[in-house]
Amino acid sequence: MWVLGLESSCDETAAAVVEDGRRVLSDVVASQVEVHAPYGGVVPELASRQHVVNVVPVLATALAQAEVTLDDIDGIAVTCGPGLVGALLVALQTAKAVAYARSIPLVGVNHLEGHLTAVYLEPEPHPPFPHLALLVSGGHSSIIRVDGFGQLQELGATRDDAAGEAFDKVAKMLGLGYPGGAAVDRLAKTGDPNAVALPRLMVKPETRYDFSFSGVKTAVLNHIRANGVPEGSALEDLCASFQATVVEVLVRKTRAAVAEFGLRNVQLAGGVAANSGLRAALRAAGEADGFGVFIPPPNRCTDNAAMIAAAGYHRLTRGERASIDLTATSSMPLRTEP
Ligand code: KG4
Ligand code: ZN
């Protein structure tokens, strides 16, 4: 079964063709980083307009690279939330138009469910069910119990900034450009993680699996106000200290959830899963505690449509079909199915 995936929830226009939810035939992503970089963040209206420009060429490229035509496509999967509604609508309306015109089955996919399916596009071994997922992106930081494809239970989430948002805001304060997560990661490699003491928020047991990153972000801001924007090794030290603080909280809560729910495997997903410090710390925790760790390669951690096609495949094979009135929503709870 060949599924065409379409994604435009934030600032990436993406299309992909995936066979049987496993084999990627094409995976095309048009990034809008250059459009938004001057503003230090995604400007929703500009994102929508750029998606309109990009969506048909990206779709056509995905079909061409997969060496298929719409006649070969057995299903279309499109992200319908969460995300920027004006942005989401571009891929959604495109998917609906193509599905309607060609009588191709259509299914709506939760963006987060897509991130949690990315790891199944990799060669085996795959994380067996049930497992725990740490999903950290620009918009979300969640700990999720995964009992099967689409069978998701959120155990905790961020109460304010998402992990990626905190990385991006700190990067902006340090003049590292947008999006700055990868730049912080790069500088942190040669810095001292103990150089600057920052608060580790929400580590008390009663906060369970919820996160809060606005405090550490403010602490970095206060440090900059008191000491100026650091340069050279002081910049590397601040990046390393910030990253270590975020990573420690993420890993600590993941370990606690693994222990509480008696799970043996963990997957790391979302854009921040590309962070080298987080990847290493979670792998070390897995070795110490005896749980398996599964992480997609960095290009499948960030937004793409192959993950949407794969998640959609599992919904389509269960017989799910979206009607033509499928719509986009900015916030969307994870669907839990029996
Ligand atoms: O999943 P994603 O592509 O988009 C959302 O669904 O939000 O995640 C993007 C986020 C951005 O905040 C970006 O700064 C962050 O992932 N990110 C990183 C790294 N690479 C991307 N954060 C930390 N370290 C990285 N290496
Ligand atoms: Zn994402």
**Ligand 1 pocket, residues with Cβ under 6 angstroms:** 10, 137-139, 164, 167-168, 179-182, 185, 270-272, 274-275, 302-303
- What phi, psi does 273 have (nearest 5°)? -65, -15
Q: State mean pLDDT over 217-230.
A: 96
- The residue that leads in pLDDT, 205 or 229, is 229
Q: In this structure, are residues 272 and 211 in contact, taking their beta carbons and an 8 Å threshold?
A: no
3-class secondary-structure state, position 266: strand
Q: Looking at the chain, how many residues does it have?
A: 338
Q: State mean pLDDT over 134-163.
A: 94
pLDDT at 78 exceeding the cut of 60: yes
Name the band, by pLDDT with cuts 50, 70 and 90, for residue 332. confident
Atom of ligand 1 nearest to the CA of 179: 14
Average pLDDT along the chain: 95
| Best residue for ligand 1 mutational test, from 109, 158, 167, 178 (most atoms within 8 Å of Cβ) | 167
Q: In this structure, are residues 63 and 4 in contact, taking their beta carbons and an 8 Å threshold?
A: yes
Residues 52 and 139 reside in one and the same domain: no
Give the Å distances, CA to CA, from 232 to 221, 237, 275.
Answer: 18, 9, 21
Residue found under tokens 């910049």: 235
**Rounded to whole angstroms, how far apart are CA atoms 308 and 29?**
12
CA–centroid distance, residue 227 to ligand 2 (Å): 34
Q: State mean pLDDT over 118-142.
A: 96
Give residue-wise pLDDT tens across range 3-22. 999 999 999 999 999 999 99
CA–centroid distance, residue 271 to ligand 2 (Å): 6
Q: Which residues contact 289 (CB under 8 A, 6 or more apart)?
A: 255, 258, 259
In a domain, residue 248? The reply is yes
Q: State mean pLDDT over 292-302.
A: 94
Q: In this structure, are residues 249 and 161 in contact, taking their beta carbons and an 8 Å threshold?
A: no
State both tokens at 56. 């048909």
- How far is C-alpha 322 from the chain's CA centre? 23
Name the band, by pLDDT with cuts 50, 70 and 90, for residue 336. low
Give residue-wise pLDDT tens across range 86-123. 999 999 999 999 999 999 999 999 999 999 999 999 99
pLDDT of residue 337: 56
The residue type of 201 is: L
Measured from the alpha carbon of residue 169, the closest ligand is: 1
CA–centroid distance, residue 271 to ligand 1 (Å): 3
Give residue-wise pLDDT tens across range 41-55. 899 999 999 999 999
**Rounded to whole angstroms, how far apart are CA atoms 142 and 144?**
6
Minimal-distance CA residue to ligand 1 atom 3: 302
Residues 91 and 145 reside in one and the same domain: no
Dihedral of CA 63/69/73/79: which sign? positive
CB under 5 Å of ion ligand 2: residues: 137, 303
Atom of ligand 1 nearest to the CA of 168: 14
Residues 284 and 181 reside in one and the same domain: yes
In a domain, residue 335? The reply is no
CATH number, position 157 = 3.30.420.40
Name the band, by pLDDT with cuts 50, 70 and 90, for residue 334. confident
Considering all CA atoms of the chain, what is the largest pairwise distance in Å, rounded to the nearest integer? 62
pLDDT of residue 338: 44
In a domain, residue 46? The reply is yes
What is the number of domains present in the chain? 2
In a domain, residue 324? The reply is no
Q: Which domain holds residue 90?
A: 2-116+301-317
Give residue-wise pLDDT tens across range 187-212. 999 999 999 999 887 777 778 999 99
In a domain, residue 264? The reply is yes
Q: What percent of the chain has pLDDT over 90?
A: 90
